[in-house]
Amino acid sequence: MSIKINLKIFLFVIIFYLTKQIHIYAVLMLFAFFHEMGHLLCGILMGLKPKALRIMPLGLSVEFHILPEEYNKKIAKANQLEIKQMWIALAGPLTNGIIMGITILLKNSMADVLYQEIIYSNLLIVIFNLLPIYPLDGARILKAWIRIIKGRKKSMDLTNYISNVSMIFITMISSIAIYYYKNIAILFIIGYLWGMVIIENKRYQLKKRINKIIENG
């Protein structure tokens, strides 16, 4: 498994350092690592082979090798591939949930500051990753679920639509937060999310064109 580093992470380190929030960023990245290990372990237990681990500005991302085509066709009939994808996507937030549960049990044996830091950091990671914005976990779960019920094309269309609407809504809320808290770091996070959404929109349009060519061909 190769390890790849997105160079934008250094820009985020500088931003959080200048805004005196580098400690918060370091804690979030630490628990984001455990989050991604949850995805990785779940994928391995389901028989998938990890391909690459990407270190991103807002966490980590694990990529698995694409399954052999015959195996894809065989399990797709029973929606097993989509179910696996849902469990792998859920494994990350569940890992953070387990960390919070253990922390609550050990509350009396740790300092209040450490307790709050662990709880709030993991809660933030869970909420962030369950947003229905592709390629975050929430959108991956949504896409797999829609594909089981409505099929591949509908899952692409609906996930793309929901992702864009959610991003607009979150941008509106974040704009209010930036105004009240004067925190420029939020602006960079929103900008990074928009970058991901724009890239996914381009991929979505490309897939639509390919599908149209195949249908008309």
Strand partners, 5: 55
- Residue 7 CA to residue 10 CA, distance in Å, equals 6
| 152 token code pair | 């591949």
Residue 104: which pLDDT band, with cuts at 50, 70 and 90? very high
- Residue 71's pLDDT is what? 46
Cβ density class 84-112: b for 16+ within 10 Å, e for less = bbbbbbbbbbbbbbebbeebeeeeeeeee
Average pLDDT, the chain: 86
The pLDDT tens digits for 121-162 are: 999 999 999 999 988 999 999 999 998 888 888 889 999 999
Using the predicted structure, report yes or no on whether residue 100 has a pLDDT greater than 70: yes
On whether the CB atoms of residues 24 and 16 are closer than 8 A, the answer is yes
Measure Cα distances from 56 to 61, 72, 83, 141 in Å.
7, 29, 26, 20
Q: What are phi and psi of 58, to 5 degrees?
A: -115, 30
Beta-carbon contacts of residue 124 (< 8 Å; ≥ 6 apart): 28
Strand partners, 2: 52
Using the predicted structure, report yes or no on whether residue 103 has a pLDDT greater than 90: yes
Q: Is residue 72 helix, strand or coil?
A: helix
pTM here is 0.84
Q: Pick the range with the lowest mean pLDDT from 3-7, 9-13, 67-71, 99-103.
A: 67-71
Measured at the CA of 37, the angle between CA 117 and CA 95, to 5 degrees, comes to 50
The domain ranges of the chain are 1-130, 131-217
Amino acid residing at 18: L
Beta-carbon contacts of residue 86 (< 8 Å; ≥ 6 apart): 140, 141, 144, 145
Q: What percent of the chain has pLDDT over 90?
A: 44
- Residue 152's pLDDT is what? 80
Strand partners, 53: 3, 62
Using the predicted structure, report yes or no on whether residue 38 has a pLDDT greater than 90: yes
